[in-house]
């Protein structure tokens, strides 16, 4: 406790007010610079936050200014207040980075809130140990608690440092990849599918590099990963071949652009709009709100109808049966007029009505119409045209027969 006693003694010195004024000046300058830099940027971001104080830029600037002021002021007097402020603003900057990036990447996740709270308590606890001078002793105790796995010795300190390094690496990778996608890919790449595969590739590469850096930092021999790579290859060849096939198929779909986000497709009798293409699966949302998760391998190996690839126009057929005494040309004119009355029916090609067959109950007509917006649904349009046909046929006195059967009694 000697270091804590020395700190308390220094805080009671006569020239502490000088440090307080310097600290306030550093905070005011950091706030002013962050507020000036915030102009013209979004209201909510990692650097600036909703307000200046809850962004990352303010604690980082304050930390840099306090660090410089501490070394400059230490030449003339004993430093105590600035010494306490350094770990406080270091923890604050780490919390701001962790919370802002994870909150922006996973805004609706309840687990993220729990992780943020745990990391905040951990950061403030480390700051208290740093200020009181107990941090080196705690690290030594954690290093003394170790586990033996074969010939490898792993301590609690190593596990803790590896966990924190992995979390920091994940946060930095998410931040860098999101920044690259927002600032570079959205401006340089217009195609959404190409932008998606580029973002996924950059994120995977950064995660791989970050993982290798973390393993090297905690003392893991990277040459041992060759054995793990061989085992992983055998696992992919046997147990994970379906999973690997889905990932490879996802990149093939994105690179070939045979399927794009926003296309209207029909896969295995399920029709809908492609809402997202992941590396393992594709999300297809039907017009009734149902969403289907389709493995990418299924899209590659089976027949998929893409209704938006070449011509977005779709032909609809409506069958109508009238009595045999009806005038054929009159019925055809009524059917075509009912189709043209709908705004969604294309005028070119023009709707056409055909006498398809002589049915057992009457004359069977087929009305053929073309639409250009199948993503808006077909049932409502069919109902609209059928109601118009029924109204016009009744107005013209044309009978719509119902099935009849004649039974002959033979004596």
| Per-residue pLDDT at 41 exceeds 70 | no
- Of 133, 156, 191, which residue sits at a domain end? 133
Q: Is residue 39 part of a domain?
A: yes
* Six-digit token string for 19: 């440090």
* Six-digit token string for 28: 């005011």
This prediction has a pTM of 0.51
- How many beta carbons lie within 10 A of that of residue 132, not counting itself? 14
Which of the residue ranges 1-5, 209-213, 251-255, 294-298 would you say has the lowest mean pLDDT? 1-5
Number of compact structural domains in the chain: 2
DSSP string, 23-59: HHHHHHHHHHHHHHHHTTS-SS-TTT-SSSTTSSHHH
Q: Is residue 335 part of a domain?
A: yes
User: What pLDDT was estimated at residue 242?
Assistant: 73
- Asked if 155 and 145 touch (Cβ cutoff 8 Å), the reply is yes
What is the tens place of the pLDDT at every residue in 340-397?
Answer: 998 899 988 899 999 999 988 899 999 999 988 876 778 888 999 999 999 999 999 9
The rounded mean pLDDT for the chain is 79
Q: Is residue 297 part of a domain?
A: no
Q: Is residue 72 part of a domain?
A: yes
How much is the average pLDDT of 107-129?
79
Q: Is residue 80 part of a domain?
A: yes
d(CA 209, CA 148) in angstroms, rounded, equals 28
d(CA 247, CA 343) in angstroms, rounded, equals 43
| Per-residue pLDDT at 334 exceeds 70 | yes
The pLDDT > 90 percentage for the chain reads: 14
In 218-359, DSSP assigns E strands to 264-267, 270-277, 281-285, 291-295, 304-306, 314-322, 352-358
- Write b or e for each residue in 216-229: b if 16 or more Cβ atoms lie within 10 A of its Cβ, otherwise e: eebebeeeeeeeee
How much is the average pLDDT of 155-169?
77
Burial class, 139, CB count within 10 angstroms (exposed 0-12 / middle 13-18 / buried 19+):
middle
d(CA 22, CA 355) in angstroms, rounded, equals 93
What is the tens place of the pLDDT at every residue in 228-275?
Answer: 666 666 665 665 677 777 777 877 877 777 788 888 888 888 888 888
Q: Is residue 340 part of a domain?
A: yes
CATH of the domain at 338: 3.30.70.100
Q: Which residue has the higher pLDDT, 154 or 345?
A: 345
Q: Is residue 76 part of a domain?
A: yes
Domain that holds residue 348: 314-395
Q: Is residue 216 part of a domain?
A: no
Alpha helices in 148-224, H assignment, sequence order: 156-180, 186-188, 192-217
DSSP string, 71-88: HHHTTTS---HHHHHHHH
| Per-residue pLDDT at 326 exceeds 60 | yes
The pLDDT > 70 percentage for the chain reads: 79
Residue 314: pLDDT band (50, 70, 90) is confident
């Amino acid at each position: 406790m000697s270091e804590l006693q020395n700190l308390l003694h220094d805080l009671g010195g006569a020239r502490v007010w000088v440090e307080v004024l310097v600290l306030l000046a550093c905070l005011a300058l950091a706030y002013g610079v962050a507020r000036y830099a915030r102009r013209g940027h979004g209201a909510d971001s990692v650097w600036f936050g909703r307000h200046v104080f809850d962004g990352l830029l303010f604690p980082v600037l304050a930390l840099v200014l306090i660090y410089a002021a501490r070394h400059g002021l230490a030449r003339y007097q004993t430093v105590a207040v600035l010494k306490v402020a350094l770990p406080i603003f270091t923890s604050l900057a780490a919390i701001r980075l962790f919370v802002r990036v994870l909150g922006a990447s996973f805004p609706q996740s309840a687990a993220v809130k729990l992780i943020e709270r745990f990391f905040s308590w951990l950061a403030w606890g480390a700051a208290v140990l740093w200020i009181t001078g107990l941090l080196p002793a705690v690290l030594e105790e954690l290093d003394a608690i170790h586990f033996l796995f074969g010939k490898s010795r792993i301590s609690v300190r190593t596990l803790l440092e590896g966990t924190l390094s992995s979390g920091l690496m994940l946060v930095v990778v998410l931040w860098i990849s999101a920044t690259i996608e927002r600032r570079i890919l959205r401006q340089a790449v217009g195609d959404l599918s190409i932008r998606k595969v580029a973002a996924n590739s950059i994120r995977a590469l950064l995660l791989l590099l970050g993982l290798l850096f973390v393993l090297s930092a905690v003392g893991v021999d990277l040459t041992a990963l060759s054995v793990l790579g061989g085992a992983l290859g055998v696992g992919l060849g046997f147990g994970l071949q379906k999973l690997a096939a889905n990932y490879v198929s996802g990149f093939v779909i994105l690179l070939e652009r045979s399927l794009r986000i926003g296309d209207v497709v029909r896969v295995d009798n399920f029709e809908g709009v492609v809402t997202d293409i992941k590396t393992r699966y594709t999300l297809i949302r039907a017009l009734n709100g149902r969403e289907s998760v389709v493995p990418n391998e299924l899209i590659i190996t089976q027949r998929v109808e893409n209704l938006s690839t070449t011509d977005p126009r779709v032909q609809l057929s409506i069958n109508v049966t009238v009595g045999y005494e009806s005038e054929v040309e009159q019925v055809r004119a009524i059917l075509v007029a009912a189709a043209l009355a709908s705004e969604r029916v294309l005028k070119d090609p023009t709707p056409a009505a055909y006498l398809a067959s002589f049915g057992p109950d009457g004359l069977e007509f087929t009305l053929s119409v073309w639409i250009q917006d199948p993503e808006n649904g077909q049932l409502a349009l069919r109902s609209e045209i059928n109601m118009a046909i029924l109204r016009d046929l009744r107005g013209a006195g044309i009978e719509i027969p119902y099935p009849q059967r004649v039974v002959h009694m033979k004596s």
